[in-house]
Amino acid sequence: MPPIRTVLVANRGEIAVRVMRTCRELGIRTVAVYSDADADAVHTRYADLSVHIGPAPSKDSYLIAERILEAAKATGADAIHPGYGFLSENAGFARRCAQAGITFIGPPPEAIDRMGDKTKARELMEAAGVPLPPGTTTALTSVEEAVETARRIGFPVLIKAAAGGGGKGMRLVHAPDQLEAAVRAAKSEALSAFGDDRVYVEKYLEEPRHVEFQILADQHGNVLHLFDRECSIQRRHQKLVEEAPCAILSAELRARMADAAVTAARGCGYVGAGTIEFLVDKHLDFYFLEMNTRLQVEHPITELITGTDLVALQIHVAEGHPLPMTQADLAMRGHAIECRICAEDSENRFLPSTGRLTTYREPSGPGVRVDAGVDEGTEVSSYYDPLLAKLVVWAPTREQAIRRMDRALAEYRIRGVQTTIPFCRFVMADEAFNAARYDTHFINDRYHPAPRPLGRAQILAAALAVREATAVPAAEVVPAAATAADGWWHKRRH
């Protein structure tokens, strides 16, 4: 395959900028696509060329394959990098790129299809000998089948959508009499979310850790792993803090999981960068969960512990070259942590926060990397994912990385929106996190922030609103207005 000269990045925000940075280092021209909301966005300005593709809503712009392909043709792009989200795991889009003679910088569409259907993936992984949570490897054909399976594997069980992933359309079931309703609910949710109502049953693992392996494969049958990341600190299936390597894996367990991950990638005919997700239970048994057939948000922590550039490697294998290293060339060094800086109010139920970034100053210094998609003056809207930037640190040890992250979080200055920085600082200070004793329930188990005291402007606004509604002197009702949001932080899991 001829070398790639121009890459169109079919994405926005931090990942678009991240991909374009490597392209620039490689002497590859970059093309941005942008919506109405992103006319002045960082990624739009960073690119060598930029093409307007439609109105702000993603469904009218970043998700329209036709528009993206037209932009690629109009600018002479010979490759498209999809980033994550949007069209990145859309096999149909990958096929249309190929038909248009454009290199899709990602896996073959067949591999996307094989791993996108979770029952197909389970069937393939079982055949390859990768450990799976007990359950069905085909879609349920009746409620009776669910009952029989649950009796065999034991409660609790999860009903999962075959077309799902990332937690959508899941139902937890504790007893046989709940099964019928759960299957019906899961099917209807799956139908409206994915247009596919197939569901299957899996044994529910109670307090698992989410540990994933980075995989790289070329078109010549070489498959490597780049070690592991722990991503157990999640809220509603959104990761917030990730670290590499996972602090609790012995060398022996890491080697067995890495083997299973390479086997999984081979089993679906994978090419490019991908991630195998596992759940690890308290006995340190591990189970295949799903494969993400794209570059992931948290890829930088792997880059920092392995000294690699995953985007450069994606481009290298997309050009048809063999991987430039062997497994023996790869080693992990030190420890990396990523904090996702999102426009969400972590002290008020992580509610989305919008507005103009009136102040935006990034931390820097030893071992600090910031991948941002915003700068001072950026208008943060509610059209897109709230991720503003990723703060990533590297240090020789986990302890030093935690201290370094806290230092960098303290340096960050963002005004205009609320962010997840207070939450990330809570994690860095948390005793269980420091001891690496945490699982996927970390946030529910440990994070119960007191509500932030209302600011002067909020108190005045509340007072005015109350006065307008009641026509009594504002001063008398301020305390009641200030407690209007009470109560939520008392909520606990179970």
Under a CB-based contact definition with an 8 Å cutoff, are residues 367 and 300 in contact?
no
Based on the shown chain and the rule CB under 6 A, indicate whether residue 152 belongs to the binding site for ligand MV4.
Answer: no
154 contacts ligand MV4 (rule: CB under 6 A): no
In terms of phi and psi (left: phi > 0; alpha: psi -120 to 50; beta: otherwise), the region of 450 is beta
Residues 395, 446: contact at Cβ < 8 Å?
no
The nearer residue to ligand MV4, 289 or 395, going by C-beta atoms, is 289
Q: Is 169 in the site for ligand MV4 (CB under 6 A)?
A: no
Q: Which residue from 210, 229, 294, 299 is in contact with ligand MV4, where contact means CB under 6 A?
A: 210
Is residue 167 part of the contact set for ligand MV4 (CB under 6 A)? yes
Q: Which residue is nearest to ligand MV4 (CB)?
A: 167
Work out whether the CA dihedral 237, 241, 246, 248 comes out positive or negative.
negative
307 binds ligand MV4, rule: CB under 6 A: no
By CB under 6 A, residue 204 contacts ligand MV4: yes
Is residue 234 involved in binding ligand MV4 (CB under 6 A)?
Answer: yes
Structure tokens at 260: 């299973």
Active site residue 403: no
Kindly state whether residue 447 participates in binding ligand MV4, applying the rule CB under 6 A. Answer: no
Say if strands 171-173 and 413-415 run parallel, antiparallel, or are unpaired. unpaired
Taking alpha carbons only, the member of 246, 278, 291 closest to residue 113 is 291
Question: Does position 256 bind ligand MV4 by CB under 6 A?
Answer: no
Q: Which of 431, 411, 333 is nearest to 368 (CA)?
A: 411
Q: Is 290 in the site for ligand MV4 (CB under 6 A)?
A: yes
- Show Cβ contacts of residue 39 under 8 Å, excluding neighbours closer than 6 positions: 52
Return the residue of 105, 111, 158, 246 that touches ligand MV4, per CB under 6 A.
158
The interface region with ligand MV4, picked from 16-24, 161-169, 291-299, 354-362 by CB under 6 A, is 161-169
Show contacts with ligand MV4 in window 128-147 (CB under 6 A): 133
Tokens of 448: 């119960």
Q: Is 163 in the site for ligand MV4 (CB under 6 A)?
A: no
- Residue 156, preceding bond cis, omega within 30 degrees? yes
**Contact with ligand MV4 (CB under 6 A): which of 189, 202, 298, 406?**
202
In whole angstroms, what is the distance from residue 34 CA to residue 36 CA?
7
Residue 451: is it exposed, middle or buried by C-beta count within 10 angstroms (0-12/13-18/19+)? Answer: middle
246, amino acid identity: C
Q: Which stretch binds ligand MV4 (CB under 6 A): 48-56, 205-213, 222-230, 429-437?
A: 205-213
Residues in touch with ligand MV4 (CB under 6 A): 133, 158, 165-167, 202-205, 208, 210, 234, 237, 279, 289-290, 440
Q: Which residues are tagged catalytic?
A: 294
